[in-house]
Amino acid sequence: MMAFHNESIGPGKTPPRLIADLLDYDPKLKRDGYNLMTDPAPMFCNETLNRRSPSDCRHRLVKKDSLNTTKPSNNDGSKSTQHVEAMCLTCRCHFSINAAVRPTEFGGEPCSLFEPHFPMHHFILTSSSLSEKNINRPDEYKYNGSYEWYEYSCSAPNCPIIVSIKILLPRLSKSLLFPIEDFQLVEERGIKEIQKDPVRFDGERPAEPITALSHLRSYLSDALNCKGEPRKISTRNKKFRISFADDCNFIFEYLDFKFVRDTLEGDEFNTFWRLPRITDNNKRFIEDAYFEITLKILTQPKHFDMRTFPTPICAMKHIRIVLGYNDYPERTRLFDADTEEHPYYASLGAVENFTDGLLNWAYDRQCECDPINKPYYLDCLQDLAQGRGSDDLQTKVVMATSAGDYGLKDLKNAYGLFGISYDTTKPDENIIDLYRSYLESTPHMKDEANSCLRIIAKHRNSAMIESLANEKNMNFHEALEFLGVGPDTTSEFIEASAVAMFADGDKHKVTLALKTIAKQKPCDFTLQRAAVTMASKTGETIMSVMDAYKYLQIPSNMISDEGILNYYQSLHDKASPAFKERLSEAVRVIALDRNSSFLLAKLQDPGAEVQASTAEPVGLDNIGNTCYLNSLLQYYYTVKPLRDMIINFDNYRMEINDENLKKKKVGGRQVEKAEIIKAQRSSTSSVRPTKELAALTIFSTQAEQAARKKSINVIPESKTSLAQVWQDHTSSRIFSSPLVTGNEVEMTELIKEKEVDRLDTSSEATLVDANSSYSEEVKLKNWNPTHISPNIEEKELKYTFNSESGADTITNNDASVEASPSAVEMPEIPPPIPPRNKAGLVITTDESNDSNSVDKLWDFGSQQDVTEVIGNVLFRLQCAITATGYENPSGEQIDIIRESFFGANTVYTQKSHSLQKKIEAWSYLLVFPAKSMTRSIYEALDISFDEQMVEIDGHLVPQYTSISRLPRIMQFHIQRTAFDQENLRSWKNRTPVTIPETLYLDRYMDDSDDPNSVILRRRRETWIWKKQLAALEARYVTLLDTQADLNVPDALIATQEWIGKIQELEIDGIKINPELPELLDMRISEISHEIDQISMRIAVLQQNLKNQFTDMREHEYKLHALFIHHGEAGGGHYWVYIYDSVHDIWRQYNDEHVTEVRNRDFIFKHETVGGGTPYYVVYVRSSELNELVNPVFREVSNAETDNIHHRLTNEVPEGFSVSNCAKFTDEIRHIEHGSDNLLDARVDTEIMK
């Protein structure tokens, strides 16, 4: 991984360079965004650099005597604030240069020519601004002018000097003064006035521009020196009429002259211009105008009496004094003023007349302040040394290169040798690969390649590359011979020998030998630690434990050894050779820190057998798109009633006879004999779940029939739309088992397949909530749409596409609800077409001799929705076991599965004359995420249980749902798949759903039989509050619309300010009601008050909703399992987190990897859970927690094991072959090889019996 340079403050400029750039900088002209005052000098690459244009003004600065407070002095160490006010004779720009002492805690001294280490300042730009960003009113622009401001601070450690430079454009534009500067206009104006009254103007001649300018300068001078009331200039004055007449009124208005009219009887001319009244606001403006006019006069031809005008004084000496470089030593050589200095001087922040000593010092300052460009500065110094023929500068270059420094040209050549650019972002591992590849093709260039690699290593500050560049190859036998030891020598003796040689010998070579031997013995902690210790003593950069975790991309050091190995293997397979070495080093560092022989053994041999502890569960191999099945099996194994039933299956097996078959009713339908036989059969004993096991869990009976039928003939595609099929299919399973309920069912089976090129072992083809390619079109007699999932279907909600995505957040607090009554919409989507596996394992039965049909069935089944798999599992289990009773009047079988996993809802619909009641059974409840905002699981459940209006027989009637029976184990499916109607594709909703560790379901319980029902009363109150809250939030959003440019309050305030400005300007023709500002102010207050009231009411309602059920905690459930999906709607990967209440820990079950989650924040305080989103959530009744679940159960008696093997070999139905399944057994290799008596092996074969 690339190492980055240390942070720097950037290049700087010496005072002579800064002033040279200032004199060349023309603020009126901008070229390609480059600014001489702010931007570093561009790098010179033997191409012409246009730092300035020939048309730019080369400023000639003169002092503004009346404003200059500087007293000429050579004492450049003065601590007083000094400044120079100057103007350019040519362009009349104003320059203000100030040097101030910043307050410092250490009381540093300014740089001085007498200080050899800091003979002059080295300025770094700290800030800059333009007048356009600081002016809000037109009058501000007039009085402040158009200016640029720059601030620089000295980079010397103890120098307190700050320099600010302000550049102000001329106050008087050419267009403004054109009427009095143009000779022809001035002459015509004078002739015209003389002709109007020849007698009065007898003997007068037309004025010249310099005369008019002098009169205007005189007026401004009088105004500035006026002590009392400003005097007035009569517009009838002869000089005024000849010079200005009425043509120049706008000039006087701009200069703050006031036009006044006196009431003098009998006088035709009674108008005057009163001189500007000088205030703090306009004083600087008038002064600058005065100086600009003065300079204009001074630059006119010298046929005017100039004795009354001051002689301009050059400002450069005073600038040098202020910036502390007056009388600095200069190079004694004549320079051609017409020849541009070499660009390298500007790059070093220097000027051409610097002595060699000052140039060396300027180079050092640039390198220290801008180390990232140090190679370029060395090129600058080297080239200038050659051009000046300076021995001192050339000596400086040699010393720098001897110390390992390099120039930019050398750097480019070094990278170029390996075919890459010096500014590449490739990681160090890629460069090492290129280096090794280069040596393989050109071994004779090794020395040059190593030299280039050293330059690259220093440029990137990479210890990895540096180590390779300086490393000499040494194999294991050479290392042993060098240390004088043998392959069987003890670790302690090898370490002692290395330590002895390290003291007096070649330390790098001894370290290399010890590292080589340690690499060959990765499980030897003594050698590993000795090698690391010795490497650190040679100055070699050793990877820290924290860096090792970061390198493996492991978020927490609380992860288990198996988890670390999992991260390592996922990165190692696709890594380059150099990157693999770095990954191995990271694992070795962590192993040494943990004293983990497991990691060191796996590092040497990934297949090494490490005995697993019987106190930990084991994983399940993925046999192709079965990651969700593995997660489900791991979860089911933790359920004690289900696990005990599997272990003691003979006690639960249903005897197949006519009487039992007649009563057998599961999922609302009669179960066929063939289904019972298949449900009671197993495959083989293995840690790897076989395809037979997967088939038993994945395939429903209808799916098998449909798949086999398709293998015989092709059924024409139904005209029923996919959306119709999805809607019916989804509706029928919201609160019911996966199988269709009803006494009389007529089915039309539809099959569609879509193939994708996926390997059987790939988990990435597993679907997310994807409906089966097999779908059922159900027709029920006397069917009423209100009877199927009324809380969802009848709401007519749409789950529309939303591009915003998030990730589920799981909270470990006990907050009961965080209500936010946002509109929630249910998906109304056609099922995505799932990918299909390639042909897999052949399983033959007596039902078919065509193995391809079984493969097609497998291809179909491996695409099933995870909730459908759960439904199939529960259905198979219920088919296989005997009933403990029967429900009345449905006749539904009661058994341990139904008692553990099935609950029931009561749907209440208020008809005109009666309250209709309907009971629906379910094994899980659907939870719908919001479109964009986080939703708690309570809010999501409220969507299904709250009252809403539904249309029945053309009338809207209220309807709500309650839970009439709670299961011992509560399962929730978070519905994340939706369909984008616009783009016709499925998409995954990642919006967070917060899942608490403790869940209370009292609020949903059915107690309607109680006339004084507290629960129903409170629920009705929340329904009212939610309606109020929705209205308030809608109004709040309208008033404070963040999507619009202005919300309502801001718009009113802006309108009020705009009207106020118009009233101040007093524009003719625009009349404004004087009461309007007051009315707007009242409305603003009203809106603000309304917003405050809405905010307060929203807070109250939210708090009421949050606290409404907090005291109802009778029906408490604890979070037990969390199924996670990583991927998109069309594919991805499942794993599961399961809580071990006995040991109070969480574990992650990810196929064959089972790891402890040592830091719960990894689950509960991350926006994403391991990069995935929760899909299926399981809670267990708190009062029965220890009775219902126990994640770890590894001790199985030999008698039980023998009994299982006996049944496996003797109870396989005739015609069923397990040979193809058994052949996979020998290929299994697991990270934790459990013993033969582990129950986890048994659960694979017994889970579906």
Predicted confidence band of residue 966 (pLDDT cuts 50, 70, 90): very high
According to DSSP, residue 40 is labeled P
pLDDT per position as a tens digit, 860-893: 444 455 667 777 788 778 787 888 888 787 778 8
Number of H helices, E strands in the chain: 45, 31
Instruction: Provide the pLDDT confidence category of residue 1029 given band limits of 50, 70 and 90.
Output: very high
Is 567 in contact with 602 (CB distance < 8 Å)?
no
Better-scored residue on pLDDT, 538 or 56: 56
Domain residue spans in the chain?
15-89+94-168+316-339, 174-298, 406-421+428-470, 627-791+825-897+1192-1246
List of E strands, 690-828: 745-751, 774-780
pLDDT classification of 7: cutoffs 50, 70, 90 = very low
DSSP 311: P
Q: What is the pLDDT of residue 682?
A: 46
- How high is the pLDDT of residue 1137? 92
> Among the listed ranges 42-46, 118-122, 812-816, which one has the minimum average pLDDT value?
812-816
Q: Map tokens 């978070």 to a residue.
A: 974
Q: Which residue has the higher pLDDT, 836 or 222?
A: 222
DSSP assigned state of 999: E
Phi, psi angle pair for 195, to nearest 5°: -70, -30
pLDDT digits (tens, 9 = 90+) for 1043-1081: 666 677 777 877 877 877 777 676 666 777 777 877 888
Q: Per the confidence metrics, is the pTM higher than 0.75?
A: no
Q: Could you give the C-alpha distances from 712 to 646, 717, 718, 848, 935, in angstroms and in order?
A: 36, 16, 18, 12, 48
Is 799 strand, coil or helix?
Answer: coil
Look at 795 and 27; give whichever has higher pLDDT: 27
Q: Which residues contact 734 (CB under 8 A, 6 or more apart)?
A: 788, 789, 791, 792, 793, 922, 926, 944
Per-residue confidence (pLDDT) for residue 1227, from 0 to 100: 35
- Distance (Å) of CA 757 to CA 802, 836, 838, 839, 855: 29, 8, 8, 11, 16
Cα 273 to Cα 228: distance, rounded to the nearest angstrom: 16
Residue type, 873: V
pLDDT of 337: 55
pLDDT at 475 over 90: no
Separation CA 910–CA 258 (nearest Å):
85
The helix/strand/coil state of 73 is: coil
| Cβ pair 1133, 1127 in contact under 8 A | yes
Q: What is the torsion angle, in degrees rounded to the nearest 10, for the CA atoms of residue 889, residue 893, residue 894 and residue 899?
A: -110
Instruction: State the distance between the two ends of the chain, measured CA to CA, in whole angstroms.
Output: 53
Percent pLDDT > 70 in the chain is: 70
Structure tokens at 785: 């749409």
Unique residue bearing structure tokens 């080295």: 122
Confidence (pLDDT) at 466? 80
Block residue for tokens 């051009």: 387
What pLDDT does 885 receive? 82
Tell me whether residue 734 is exposed, middle or buried, using C-beta atoms within 10 angstroms of its C-beta: 0 to 12, 13 to 18, 19 or more.
buried
Q: Which two tokens stand for residue 935?
A: 């939703």
pLDDT of residue 443 exceeding 60, the answer is: yes
